[in-house]
């Protein structure tokens, strides 16, 4: 009787072991179960990496910037998560934007970039770092020995002057013609601006019109080769020393960024002269340009810093946040970066 009972117990244990083994095999070998697990892990990772809700740009600091940096590392970059929106972070954002069909490459983290990053996180896909923009720039090719070629010419906040030049082959790929008045009808490249600056210029001109003012846009985008021709002509007419005070050498002109427009008014025959600053239009632009993301790039009294004469007609798009900070402090873009 005892032997029969022992055999019964042993048989029951073996049956339980067999059932457990089968159950384990079924779970391990079920492809749908593996896919479900992977999807769950991807969703968990996306949930843990929370993208900032606010726009961010170069020189911003804090936990929101660090959160963005962590997401960028998750999708294929290798940058320091230090909470500082530095040049490397700006490059990574720009490189990512250049690899997306529907994003403007500005180096600025905005709602559109957030949406694209969220989609990538949800799928678990990655990008190839530097596929859109190399991290390092080529050697400088300008006549100034101490001039550096910018590694990221797409940067909305790029500092372009006699020390920091644009690559000779850089042409913005999002140039459009803003819907504003021009003093000529020809379809010339100088009517163009990058899309983000063109939209802002339209808003600025609309506000000026509502204020009863008469603004016209005179000169926007200018290629490297066109600037070369203009500078050579100015040197021939005025000499190189004088030309350097009011005309940029090729690569050193903000017009090549596609973020600058020279504006004037019919009240001074649409000329680009210091007299513009004394007109009602010039005074209005000085007071209100920052509301639309523009700064007077070469202000009066800052000639030693900018190395150019006062140009009340030359407005540069940097975005509303930066424009208002610069204008409120009455500083230049050089002083904003602390490189004057």
Contact criterion met (CB below 8 Å) for 306 and 274: no
Sign, CA dihedral 137-138-139-142, equals negative
Token pair belonging to 115: 């949406």
Calpha distance 313→64 (Å, rounded) = 37
Residue carrying the six token digits 């004469």: 309
Report which DSSP code applies to 137.
Answer: P
CA-based R_g, the chain, Å: 29
Residue in 318, 321, 286, 285 with CA at minimum distance from that of residue 301: 286
Reply yes or no on whether 128 is catalytic.
no
Sign, CA dihedral 194-318-284-277, equals negative
Token pair belonging to 90: 């700006």
Q: Which of 311, 320, 325, 334 is catalytic?
A: 311
Q: Which long-range contacts (CB under 8 A, 24 or more apart) does 3-12 make?
A: none
Contact criterion met (CB below 8 Å) for 267 and 279: yes
Residue carrying the six token digits 């990538």: 120
Q: What is the largest CA-CA distance in the chain?
A: 122
The burial class, CB within 10 Å (0-12 / 13-18 / 19+), for 18 is exposed
Q: Which residues are catalytic?
A: 311
């Amino acid at each position: 009787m005892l032997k029969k009972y022992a055999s019964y117990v042993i048989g029951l244990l073996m049956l339980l072991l067999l059932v457990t083994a089968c159950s384990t095999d079924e779970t391990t070998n079920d492809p749908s179960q593996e896919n479900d697990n992977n999807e769950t892990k991807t969703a968990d990772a996306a949930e843990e990496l929370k993208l900032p809700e606010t726009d961010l740009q170069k020189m911003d600091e804090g936990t929101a910037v660090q959160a963005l940096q962590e997401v960028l590392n998750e999708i294929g970059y290798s940058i320091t998560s230090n909470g500082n929106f530095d040049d490397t972070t700006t490059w990574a954002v720009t490189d990512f934007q250049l690899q997306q069909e529907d994003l403007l490459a500005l180096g600025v983290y905005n709602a559109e970039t957030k949406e694209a990053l969220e989609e990538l996180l949800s799928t678990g896909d990655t990008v190839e770092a530097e596929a859109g923009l190399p991290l390092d720039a080529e050697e400088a090719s300008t006549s100034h020995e101490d001039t550096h070629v910018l590694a990221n010419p797409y940067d909305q906040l790029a500092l372009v002057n006699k020390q920091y030049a644009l690559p000779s082959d850089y042409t913005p790929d999002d140039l459009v013609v803003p819907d504003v008045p021009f003093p000529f009808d020809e379809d010339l490249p100088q009517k163009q601006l990058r899309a983000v600056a063109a939209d802002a210029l339209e808003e600025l001109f609309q506000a000026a019109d509502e204020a009863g003012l008469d603004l016209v846009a005179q000169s926007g985008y200018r290629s490297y080769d066109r600037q070369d021709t203009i500078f050579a002509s100015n040197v021939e007419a005025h000499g190189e020393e004088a030309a350097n005070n009011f005309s940029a050498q090729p690569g050193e002109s903000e017009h090549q960024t596609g973020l600058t427009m020279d504006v004037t008014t019919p009240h001074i025959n649409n000329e680009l002269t210091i007299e513009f600053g004394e007109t009602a239009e010039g005074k209005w632009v000085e007071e209100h340009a920052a509301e639309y993301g523009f700064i007077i790039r070469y202000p009066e009294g800052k000639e030693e810093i900018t190395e150019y004469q006062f140009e009340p007609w030359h407005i540069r798009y940097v975005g509303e946040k930066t424009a208002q900070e610069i204008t409120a402090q009455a500083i230049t873009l050089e002083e904003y970066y602390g490189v004057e």
